Structure 1
């Protein structure tokens, strides 16, 4: 009997401790796409007003957010993006994607099995009517064409610029070292975005690209180039005035640029608390590169 009581006492002490440890280490990922409808998202397609879902380009089917062009005769420059309602600064965004079918007639040749997810993006509401791409950092998604290597998880820089190894990169798109993924298979991708300091691109669990010090600048925001992005005069002046300044927060947007693509399991882990000195693991995420969820000290 005494032995049984000892076991019970031990369980009483250890079970709450185990639960507390499990709770403390839990990562609070939030599904920002609910798999049922487009609640919390705004659509902006070039040449059309906010939330005009031209020819049902963005739709929800079978738990997926689908970018589809079956109602188009020709693409006709209808570059579009769908933006989540809330901005982030320090965060991880993770999702699954797959390319399907054939490219829409009229799409640019470089957009075959080409899409992306934009991070640190300007808001949907701030885009000019005819603007083709938001000022943002693009985690570019490329599908294999059965003709040799074609990396995914690259970075492209519409209206932005980045550094690698403390050197400003002049190229608009920078290749990752990912594998090539042919066909219509599902791929898991992630961006680990730490303010204006560092960004990692992860594909199927492998870190395939890292860059630092994202800034506004280059590309569309160069004084002689902004017209190519179809900015209004007022918007162009604003972004040009911000050239070479840090880009440390913004919105998440999924891209629609002529090839059908499906997204699912779009989720975010907000890491902003890790920069707060009151957090138990203040800056541990950045120092240890682990996956610790931020927890706050009792005041």
Structure 2
């Protein structure tokens, strides 16, 4: 594989130009109570205007689909967490890729059909909780030669403090190879992302054609009840 172009910034550091929000219970384009906002050069997921979470799983999508690419971004969690969100969302967020478009996600659909680079931070002192994992809402991947039935596959990464900036990398070659990196180290590898599996509810059945390989799609930043910040979101397309 060869590089097609140089690095480009997906986030301009000033506003959400080029990005579209989609929340469960809301139409595409509605950034519910300013959940996604720009603060000090970061994209922040902020819940200070919420009365209750009410399963408002949100995603902020870049306007352009990508197929083969190298994505880099930094993230860290904040001390906000919506206590009426599911317990697994604590110190948990993610970046979706090869996702359906925000416009094709129905109002009452909870998650986009996509593959997720999952970010976790320490929950209990001394207990391993790796980051850079793979989760698969409405999708499947091939891991160690077989379609893996698990919704999430853990990486080999270390466990990081919640307020520590972590450097994440995602290298995707169309519908073939996917590599996750954390702080420069490869931590997970799998192949053949494809539509399948469960977890996603309320989707348009015309879109979920199980077994269809995913060769391209949209990139989305996740908001699941846990505050998080993203910065230095850059991409380089690969041939």
TM-score (norm 2): 0.95
Distance of aligned partners of 1:238 and 1:183 in 2 relative to their CA distance in 1, 3 Å threshold: closer
Instruction: Tell me the equivalent position of 2:132.
Output: 153
CA deviations on 1:39-90 (whole Å, 9 max, x unpaired) are 0000001111122111110000110000000111221111000000000100
Instruction: Tell me the equivalent position of 2:215.
Output: 248
Which structure's CA Rg is the greater one? 1
Instruction: Tell me the equivalent position of 2:121.
Output: 143
Structure 1 gaps, min length 5: 1-24, 221-227, 275-299
User: SS where residue 55 of structure 1 aligns?
Assistant: helix
- Contact 2:46/2:80 (CA < 8 Å) preserved in 1? no
Distance of aligned partners of 1:26 and 1:249 in 2 relative to their CA distance in 1, 3 Å threshold: closer
Q: Tell me whether 1:212 sits opposite 2:191 in the alignment.
A: yes
Instruction: Tell me the equivalent position of 2:38.
Output: 60
CA deviations on 1:13-61 (whole Å, 9 max, x unpaired) are xxxxxxxxxxxx9961000010100000000011111221111100001
User: After TM superposition, what 4+ stretches of structure 1 lie above 2 angstroms from structure 2?
Assistant: none
Instruction: Tell me the equivalent position of 1:258.
Output: 225
Q: Distance in 1 between matches of 2:6 and 2:156?
A: 30
User: SS where residue 72 of structure 2 aligns?
Assistant: strand
- Structure 1 vs Structure 2 CA RMSD: 1.4
Structure 2 gaps, min length 5: none
Q: Tell me whether 1:269 sits opposite 2:236 in the alignment.
A: yes
Instruction: Tell me the equivalent position of 1:72.
Output: 50
CA deviations on 1:135-161 (whole Å, 9 max, x unpaired) are 100000001123310010000001100
